[in-house]
């Protein structure tokens, strides 16, 4: 591999992954260094991988943001008989966030927040364009040598409104296990909030040096994303002030909420809190956390104050503690002031708590009507329920009509009078019930419809027919989605049916030259076998072929009989002179010369005109003979009558003597 598309001169490999390799390349047309990403040849034979790679090119090409690696060009190149797609991208020099954390350790909170803020901006631009990344992880975030942040690899991204593509319909678990959102791990549809969750996992790792969940297998990690809560990241970060600890935990754990409705609802919202965290200000998530904690507890609420911290460094830098000013500490003075304030406030606090306890007790005795929440989405319903003074409990139930995340019912039902603090169950729609796609390979269309109906699925139309030499006609050779995938009931499964072997009519190529016949047959997909035979026809001419005019399986071998051109038809040499005979033989393709003709005993004749003409020849006229055949001729010879008689008598006496001697 040297040059691609007569434009990109390939250099060294600068990256490799499960499905593609990335090369440094020189754009010969524009004279610039680029990165060329090429799908691996063995995967290029798979239509699903080609589709995924093509979608990466489309999605990346639609995005124009300084924090997203730019795509310049796309195309395909022939490798090992396969059309292999490639993407030409901006060449970025730097290190991935994964490598930086691995080599240098975790980031301080302010630096981590500032580093990932451009990622939020890039994702918001992507989401505004209708594209979900679905594989946000440290390895896909590049910190350039100039400190810029770049988001890479939209290989498994999909459009937010793409509900028809085969790869989306499978609801397959796609992504990297350590950063996989719970809905992706459960095979459900990913949206913009799924990217928020993954970025929360990345922030967790940037702060602590390790991902939130680890396990021996990807399935074990995915299970934890669905079922378990991560340990607060502040537990792994030493020397945090209480405000920073609450800020860090609130931002990370809000981004990583199990249910999308409980997370930041956009990358922009997460970015706002990262900006506050970078400045040392109290984040929105921290304020919400403190407010919720205050509603459910009788203890006084802690007030968070902004921490005075130095301006955060640029991405890729590290904090260096400033030298303490050599000034005399004022801590004893401030301690005295604080103790005095606490002492004066003690009486007020005790009185306030007594009043608050009495007030809370009175409120708990009140009864409140359960609000009507049916049809609201989860987050709004939870908010209204808590606002009314109730605790909430979630129960999910599939429903073919009600969209996912909408309230189906409450228990007790709306209007019921309950004491404040009572738990009300919200019955939430989980969408259509999931079912497993059956294996349809080898079934007829009717059998496939029955199998799909039993699973609660439908056969997609139209059914596509493709020739197959291996699968009998009428049986299914391919399905999409594949067997074993979980789909909502009522979804369609598309199939490809065998049309039987592909057949082609054998053309009649007799009379053509061999090279013409071979070109005709191979263009139709046939293999050609040549049988050379002796013939008087010109050398290389096709004399016959097997099964002309018949329909046979494409790719079959056709045997053609081809003339060697080594035979000729013996001409009639009677009455010709020897030279005229040579000329006649030459016209038929004879390879001999005049001296190669053997003359037998001449035959006497009295005709002057017949003298020295051919009386007979061997081989006989009309015989098919080799062009190098040995020719014998008998010539007429004119003789007088007396000479002929005496010679006859002499011959008779000689014959008599020989008979007596015997």
Place of tokens 């979980």: 486
Give the per-residue pLDDT at 179: 94
β-bridge pairing 32-39 and 20-27: antiparallel
Query: How many of the other CB atoms lie within 10 Å of CB of 204?
Result: 28
Q: What are the DSSP calls for 62-78, one per residue?
A: H---TTB--EEEEEEEE
Within 8 A by CB and 6+ apart from 247, the residues are 109, 276, 277, 282, 283, 285, 286, 304
Greater pLDDT, 589 or 334: 589
* C-alpha distances out from residue 419 to 1, 153, 415, 613, Å: 75, 53, 13, 140
Give the per-residue pLDDT at 16: 82
Task: State the catalytic residue, choosing from 73, 77, 135, 195.
Answer: 135
What domains sit in the chain, N to C, each tagged with a CATH number? 3-90 (3.30.200.20), 94-295 (1.10.510.10), 434-498 (3.30.10.20), 503-563 (3.30.10.20), 570-657 (3.30.10.20)
Alpha-carbon distance of 271 to 121, in angstroms, equals: 7
pTM value is 0.47
In the predicted structure, residue 170 carries a pLDDT above the cut 70: no
Q: Which of 590, 587, 579, 578 is nearest to 633 (CA)?
A: 578
Q: What is the band of 600 on the pLDDT scale with cuts at 50, 70, 90? A: very high
Tokens found for residue 524:
């139709």
Within 8 A by CB and 6+ apart from 222, the residues are 173, 177, 180, 185
* C-alpha distances out from residue 558 to 168, 227, 501, 520, 541, Å: 46, 64, 17, 12, 16
Alpha-carbon distance of 625 to 588, in angstroms, equals: 11
In the predicted structure, residue 15 carries a pLDDT above the cut 70: yes
Alpha-carbon distance of 116 to 137, in angstroms, equals: 11
Tokens found for residue 169:
């319909």
Q: What backbone torsions phi and psi does residue 33 show, to the nearest 5 degrees? A: -85, 130
Q: Which of 22, 21, 25, 1 is nearest to 11 (CA)?
A: 25
Tokens found for residue 458:
């439908």
Alpha-carbon distance of 105 to 318, in angstroms, equals: 10
Alpha-carbon distance of 259 to 226, in angstroms, equals: 9
Greater pLDDT, 334 or 585: 585
User: Taking CA 207 as the corner, what is the angle to CA 204 and CA 208, rounded to the nearest 5 degrees?
Assistant: 85
Tokens found for residue 427:
């019955």
Give the per-residue pLDDT at 370: 92
Strand partners, 436: 486
Query: How many of the other CB atoms lie within 10 Å of CB of 301?
Result: 11
110-119, 306-315, 521-530, 639-648, range with the lowest pLDDT: 306-315
Angle between helices 242-255 and 284-295 (to 10 degrees): 90
* Average pLDDT along the chain: 82
Give pLDDT tens digits for 23-54: 999 999 999 999 999 989 888 888 878 887 88
Q: Which of 316, 422, 447, 414 is nearest to 367 (CA)?
A: 422
In the predicted structure, residue 362 carries a pLDDT above the cut 70: no
Greater pLDDT, 256 or 403: 256
Per-residue DSSP letter, 236: G
Average pLDDT over residues 257-280: 95
Query: How many of the other CB atoms lie within 10 Å of CB of 71?
Result: 21
Angle between helices 267-279 and 192-208 (to 10 degrees): 30
Place of tokens 């029955």: 450
Give the per-residue pLDDT at 155: 56
Give the per-residue pLDDT at 481: 87
Average pLDDT over residues 435-442: 92
β-bridge pairing 557-563 and 527-533: parallel
The verdict on whether 77 is a catalytic residue reads: no
In the predicted structure, residue 314 carries a pLDDT above the cut 80: no
Q: What is the band of 373 on the pLDDT scale with cuts at 50, 70, 90? A: very high
Alpha-carbon distance of 551 to 537, in angstroms, equals: 28
Give pLDDT tens digits for 483-523: 988 888 888 999 999 988 888 889 999 999 999 999 999 99
Task: State whether residue 267 is helix, strand or coil.
Answer: helix
Give the per-residue pLDDT at 259: 95
Computed from CA positions of residues 101, 104, 110, 111, in that sequence, does the dihedral angle turn out positive or negative? Answer: negative
150 appears as a binding residue in the annotation: no
Alpha-carbon distance of 194 to 134, in angstroms, equals: 7
């Amino acid at each position: 591999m040297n040059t691609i598309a007569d434009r990109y001169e390939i250099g060294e490999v600068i990256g490799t992954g499960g499905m593609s390799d990335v090369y440094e390349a020189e754009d010969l047309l524009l004279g610039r260094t680029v990165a060329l990403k090429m799908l691996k040849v063995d995967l290029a034979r798979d239509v699903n991988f080609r589709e995924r790679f093509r979608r990466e090119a489309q999605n990346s090409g639609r995005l124009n943001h300084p924090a997203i690696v730019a795509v310049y060009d796309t195309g395909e190149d022939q490798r090992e008989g396969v059309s292999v797609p490639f993407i030409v991208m901006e060449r970025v020099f730097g290190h991935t966030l994964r490598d930086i954390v691995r080599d240098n350790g975790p980031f301080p909170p302010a630096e981590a927040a500032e580093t990932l803020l451009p990622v939020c901006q890039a994702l918001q631009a992507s989401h505004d364009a209708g594209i979900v990344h679905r594989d946000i992880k440290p390895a896909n975030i590049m910190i350039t040598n100039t400190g810029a942040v770049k988001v890479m690899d939209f290989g498994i991204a999909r459009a937010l409104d793409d509900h028809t593509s085969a790869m989306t319909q499978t609801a397959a678990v796609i992504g990297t296990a350590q950063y996989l959102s719970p809905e992706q791990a459960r095979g459900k549809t990913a949206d913009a909030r799924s990217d928020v969750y993954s970025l929360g996992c990345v922030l967790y790792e940037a702060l602590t040096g390790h991902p939130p969940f680890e396990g021996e297998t990807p399935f074990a990690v995915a299970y934890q994303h669905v079922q378990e809560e991560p340990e607060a990241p502040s537990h792994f970060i030493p020397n945090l002030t209480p405000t920073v600890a609450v800020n860090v935990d609130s931002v990370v754990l809000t981004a990583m909420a199990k249910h999308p409705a409980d997370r930041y609802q956009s990358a922009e919202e997460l970015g706002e809190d990262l900006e506050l965290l970078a400045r040392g200000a109290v984040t929105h998530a921290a304020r919400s956390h403190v407010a919720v904690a205050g509603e459910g507890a009788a203890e006084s609420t802690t007030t968070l104050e902004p921490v005075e911290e130095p301006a955060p460094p640029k991405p890729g830098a590290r904090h260096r503690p400033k030298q303490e000013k050599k000034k005399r500490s004022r801590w004893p003075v401030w301690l005295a002031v604080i103790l005095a304030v606490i002492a004066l406030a003690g009486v007020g606090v005790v009185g306030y708590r007594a009043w608050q306890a009495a007030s809370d007790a009175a409120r708990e005795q009140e009864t409140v009507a359960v609000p009507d929440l049916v049809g609201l989405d989860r987050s709004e319903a939870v908010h209204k329920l808590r606002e009314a003074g109730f605790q909430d409990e979630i129960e999910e139930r599939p429903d073919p009509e009600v969209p996912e995340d909408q309230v189906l019912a409450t228990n007790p039902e709306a209007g019921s009078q309950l004491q404040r603090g009572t738990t009300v169950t919200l019955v939430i729609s989980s969408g259509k019930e999931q079912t497993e796609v059956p294996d349809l390979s080898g079934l007829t269309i009717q059998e496939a419809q029955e199998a799909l109906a039993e699973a609660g699925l439908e056969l997609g139309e139209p059914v596509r027919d493709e020739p197959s030499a291996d699968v009998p006609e009428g049986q299914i050779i391919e399905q999409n989605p594949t067997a074993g995938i979980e789909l909502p009931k009522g979804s369609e499964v598309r199939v490809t049916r065998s049309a039987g072997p592909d057949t082609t009519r054998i053309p009649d190529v007799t009379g053509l030259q061999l090279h013409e016949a071979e070109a005709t047959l191979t263009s139709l997909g046939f293999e050609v076998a040549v049988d050379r035979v002796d013939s008087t026809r010109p050398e290389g001419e096709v004399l016959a072929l097997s099964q002309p005019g018949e329909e046979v399986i494409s790719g079959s071998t056709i045997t053609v009989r081809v003339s060697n051109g080594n035979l000729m038809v013996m001409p009639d040499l009677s009455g010709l002179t020897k030279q005229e005979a040579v000329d006649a033989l030459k016209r038929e393709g004879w390879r001999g010369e005049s001296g190669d003709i053997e003359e037998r005993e001449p035959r006497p004749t009295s005709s002057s005109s017949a003298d020295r003409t051919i009386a007979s020849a061997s081989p006989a006229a009309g015989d098919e003979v080799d062009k190098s055949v040995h020719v014998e001729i008998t010539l007429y010879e004119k003789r007088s009558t007396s000479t002929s008689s005496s010679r006859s008598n002499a011959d008779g006496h000689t014959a008599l003597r020989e008979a007596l001697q015997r």
